[in-house]
Every structure is written in C-alpha cells, then in structure tokens.
Structure 1
Amino acid sequence: MVRITLFILTNLSIVFFLKLILIIIGIKINSIYMVTVFLFSFIGALISLIMSKWITLKYINGKIIKIPNNEKENFLINVIKKQANITKIKTPTMVIYNSSEINAFATGINRNSSIIALSTKLLNSMKYEEIEAVIAHEISHISNGDMITMTLLQGIMNTIVFFLSNIVSQILLATILQNKEESKNNKYLYFVISFIMELTFGLIASIIVMWFSRKREFYADAGSAKIVGKNKMLSVLYKMKEEQNNNIINNKLISTFLIYGKSKSFFNLFVTHPSIDKRIKALKNNLYY
C-alpha cells in the first residue's frame, strides 16, 4: 500500500510540475487531457500488476504444486515454506512449467500474493542446494517488492513519456509551420511528429526501467546468499554461465541476448539482467547487502 501511495503522489507531482512548466512557457494543454494521461498510466500499471499471475499461468501453461507427488516436489514445497517464514511473507504458490531453458521467475501483486515458477530444465539440471538458492533469489524479489516497484516505475515513465511527447510535438509543429493557426489544423503532421516523439521518449524510458531491472538482480542475489549461503548462490551463477556459453555455442543467441545482452554493446542498456560475470563479482565482493 505504501508503494502505491508513493506512486500516486509521484504521478500527481509530475502532472502538476509539468503543468506549471507549460504555463510558464505558454503552452496550453487541456486539463482533462492531463487527468486522462495520469489515470491511464496509473490504472494501466495496476491492471497489469493485478492480472500478472493469471496471465503468467496461462502463458507458460504451468502446473501448480499444492500437494507434492514425488520427492522433488516435496523438497520444493518444504523449501519455499521455510524461506517464506524466514522472510516473513505469505508462502508463494509453486509452479513448474515445461521449458528447454534454465529459468525461474516470480510475479504477483504483492508480497503476500505471488507465485514462483521454475522450469523443468532448471529442475533437471541443478542440484538440490542450487535449486534452494534459486528459490531464495525469487523469494528475495518478492520480499523486496520488486514486481510492484517495477510496474509502478513503468507507470511513472508512461506518464512522463505521454506529457513530453505532447509538449515537444507541439513545439516542433509550431516551429516547422511557423504559424499557430496552421499548426492547430495540421493533425496529420502532428500525428507523425507525436509518434516519433513517443518512440524516442519511450526508448529513453525503457533504458531507465531496464537499469532498475538489472539493479534489482544484484540485491536478489545478495538476498539469496543471506538466506542459504553465498556458495550456493555462486554455484547457481556458475551453472548459468555454463548454460549461457552452451547457448552461444549452439547458436541460441536470441534467448541469451534478450536476457544478458553482449558486453560493451549499446543494446546492453535494454537487457533485463546484468552479465553473469558482474553478478558473480558483486556477490564475491559482498556488494548490495
């Protein structure tokens, strides 16, 4: 609730601040439009957050583990309950889904309504102590409130993108046509300029959101180390590095690139995770604790 309250206050601050700037520089934007932008960004972010569990389960076709059917499932249930108690959150729902990639993630509207999904490749490739560290990593994401923070940050970025693209589009249109009356009537040119501006500012906003996404991985690694021990989490990272190298050798470049990118590449600004080498170095040096 605190995060949502801060989200509302931050968005309102942005709206009023930009409105003040517009008044100072003499650009008129309908107040109804400003309120609509705010509501669109806020409600859109919340809807995506509320539906995240349902959408995820449908997309991955995951199997919810409530009653364990074998030794490994029993191990998973016991680990997730134990770690939830340690971090003082409600036990997340455990989900297993079929995948040929080592992967795990957490999602949900808050700390007490979340799921942790593990791929079959991960469960078949990792030792029990490594799986324990992976779950601890996801538990740390949940206890840190990363899912809701990520969603709310995206909502704030959406608000800024909408406003700035509108303002800059008006200024550019008036500059190009050099006639206020003519610029008001040229809707097609405005649409083109506005579209380009939204793409440009949206790109910048994505860089900010992805920067936060990469940052939170360091804290989740450190959180896992606190729960199960540093060596177990390091073992996971080394195994992930080995898998990444195998993907490159087997030309599975797309999936690897989308998560980790390439070192010293501009596109590294748009990846969701820092490089495994950086994560290993941070964990070894006791950073982000």
Structure 2
Amino acid sequence: MRRIALFIGTNLAVLLLLSIVCHLFGIDRMAAARGYGGMTGLLVYAAVFGMGGAFISLAMSKMIAKWSTHARVITQPQNETERWLVDTVRRHAQNAGIGMPEVAIYEAPEMNAFATGMTRNSALVAVSSGLLQQMDREQVGAVLGHEIGHVANGDMVTLTLIQGVLNTLVILAARIVGQLVDSWLSGGRNDNRGGGGIGYFVVVMVLQVVFGLFASIIVAAFSRWREFRADTAGAQFAGRGAMISALQRLKGNHGESTLPQTIAAFGISGPLTDGLKRLFMSHPPLDERIAALQNAS
C-alpha cells in the first residue's frame, strides 16, 4: 500500500506544487489580467503545465534512473557475462529495428529490470544483479526482450503523453469548477480578474486531488496493458517458452522491490494487491501474464 500511495502522491504533488507556485507568485492573476482568462487561455495554461511537467520528467528519466539505482553502464564489458548481456541486447534491438540502448547493471537482491529513455533510439536497459544471479540465460534473454519491447513500442513516450493529457485535463477541470464555485460563493460579484478568491483556491486544490486520483487509475490501466504487449515482444525475440519461464521465475521474488518510486512502473514486475487498490497497480499479476502467453495463438 505504501508504494501505491507514493505512486499516486508523486503525480498529485506535481500538480499541487504547480498550483501553489502559480498562486503565490500571482501567475493566475497576471494571466487573467492580460486577458487569458477565457477558455482558450485556460486550456493553453493547463497544457503548458500539464504536458510540460510530463515531458521534463521523460527527458530526465535516464539520468534519474542511473542516479537513483546507482546503475553502472557497461561501456567496456569486463567479463563474459557482461559481453553476453550487451550482445543479447544488441541482437534484440536489431530485431526490433531500434537503436542500440545503453546497457547497465544495478545492485539489488530481487530479480528485476527496466527500460527508459526519451526516444526509441536513445534508451537505457538495466538489469539487477539479482536477476543475473537467479535466472538462467534463456530467462534473462526473455526479460531483455521484454524490455526492448517496451522501447520498440514507444511505451515511455506514450505513457508520458497520457500522463500529460490527463494532467492538462485535471488542471483545466479543477479551475473551471473552481471558478463556478467561487462565483457562486461571491454571489457573482467576482469576475475572476483577480485570480479568484479563497473559495476558488481551496476548491482547485481539492479537485486536483480528486481528479488526480481518477487520472492515476487511467495511467495505471495503460501501464498494465503495456506489460502484456512487452511480454508478447519478449516471446517474439526470445521464444514463448523462455518468456513464460522467466515470468514463472519472477514469482520467486519476495518482499518489496528496491526500485525507486520514480521508475518502479518501468520494472518488469510490480507489487500485487487486492480490492480497490488493484485499480492503481502498475503491473498485472504474473499469473495473468503467463496465462495470456499460454493462450496466445
């Protein structure tokens, strides 16, 4: 539950922080005073902050991933395992028709891997030391195929676009409703040229939390769907049996993942939960993923 709360909180914190900064520095009021208070201006304002924040995060994703996991990029393989790892990623990348990603290893006890990057031709694929130690090469090759599938499918960019559009809609909807409520509270005397009163500010803050929760559900749903697609890619590049075997081996993971929350959704597996909390899961259950591969024609 802690990781789910952090996942939701990260998205909401960005929106709340932007709103507070805009309010404190009078950006809302300046925009309204200059005639940007109409629907078109509000939409542009929401898009700049909603899409801008998402793409800034994407542009920094590789740097943040390397820094937060202390991943060591393999520039010159130091042993046979590293040479095999780089060669396998290169082969999968060539088969997928994408540029050669950076390949890295990070120290972690659990079996995990992730891919991130701004474009399909400038990605990073990283594997944990635990994955290399606890899986055979056939299984590791399938995991690498899964991660290359994410890159080839453009999942990082698509996820960013979805998050950006939803952030924009959250900002837009919260302010429209906030203006209506503030106008009602003021008896229609507030024309919003001053940026709205306290009622407007409170309503916007609350609604961004509420709407942000619904946005997180949509993002999580797409994240789960893309895992099935990446599994299919892993089966294509390394063989269906190898991909199924790798997913079955992943069931041997115990405890919380050590991946930082900023990139946890990019890992090959995620935490399981039940009830309403399933709506916020970034990964579908491993049993469902295995069944999907077994039933694929």
Please classify the TM superposition score into its range, dividing by the shorter chain length: 0.7 to 0.9
AA in 2 matched with 1:90 = G
Counterpart-to-counterpart distance in 2, 1:55 and 1:29: 37
For residues 41-120 of structure 1, what are the structure 2 equivalents within 5 Å? 41-120=50-129
Shift of 1:71: 1.3
AA in 2 matched with 1:221 = D
Closer/same/farther in 2, CA of residues 51 and 253 from structure 1, 3 Å limit: closer
In the other structure, the counterpart of 2:214 is: 204
Q: Is the 8 A contact 2:92 2:145 kept in 1?
A: yes
In the other structure, the counterpart of 1:15 is: none
Shift of 1:47: 1.8
Q: Greater CA deviation, 185-194 or 103-112?
A: 185-194
Question: How many residues in Structure 1 have an aligned counterpart in Structure 2?
Answer: 251
AA in 1 matched with 2:215 = A
Does the alignment pair 1:148 with 2:120?
no
Percent of residue pairs identical: 38
Does the alignment pair 1:237 with 2:247?
yes
Counterpart-to-counterpart distance in 1, 2:257 and 2:124: 28
In the other structure, the counterpart of 1:261 is: 272
For residues 120-146 of structure 1, give each alpha carbon's deviation from its aligned partner in whole angstroms, at most 9, with x where no partner exists.
111111111111000000000000000
Q: Is the 8 A contact 1:260 1:274 kept in 2?
A: no
Tell me the C-alpha RMSD between the 2 structures.
2.2
AA in 1 matched with 2:59 = I
Shift of 1:228: 0.9
- Structure 1 stretches of at least 4 aligned residues deviating more than 4 Å after TM superposition: 182-186, 252-255
Shift of 1:34: 2.9
Counterpart-to-counterpart distance in 1, 2:129 and 2:258: 20
Counterpart-to-counterpart distance in 2, 1:284 and 1:107: 27
Counterpart-to-counterpart distance in 2, 1:121 and 1:53: 21
Counterpart-to-counterpart distance in 2, 1:67 and 1:119: 18
SS at 2:126 equivalent: strand
Q: Is the 8 A contact 1:132 1:228 kept in 2?
A: yes
SS at 1:105 equivalent: strand
Counterpart-to-counterpart distance in 2, 1:227 and 1:30: 48
Q: Comparing both chains, which one has the higher relative contact order based on Cα–Cα distances under 8 Å and sequence gaps of 6 or more?
A: 2
Q: Is the 8 A contact 2:71 2:104 kept in 1?
A: yes
Does the alignment pair 1:180 with 2:188?
yes
In the other structure, the counterpart of 1:222 is: 232
AA in 1 matched with 2:187 = N
Q: Is the 8 A contact 1:137 1:221 kept in 2?
A: yes
Counterpart-to-counterpart distance in 1, 2:272 and 2:279: 8
Q: Is the 8 A contact 1:111 1:145 kept in 2?
A: yes
Shift of 1:269: 0.7
SS at 2:247 equivalent: helix
Q: Which runs of 5+ in 2 are unaligned?
A: 1-36
AA in 2 matched with 1:180 = G
Counterpart-to-counterpart distance in 1, 2:278 and 2:65: 26
In the other structure, the counterpart of 2:147 is: 138
TM-score normalized by the length of structure 1 = 0.81
SS at 2:78 equivalent: coil
Q: Is the 8 A contact 1:45 1:152 kept in 2?
A: yes
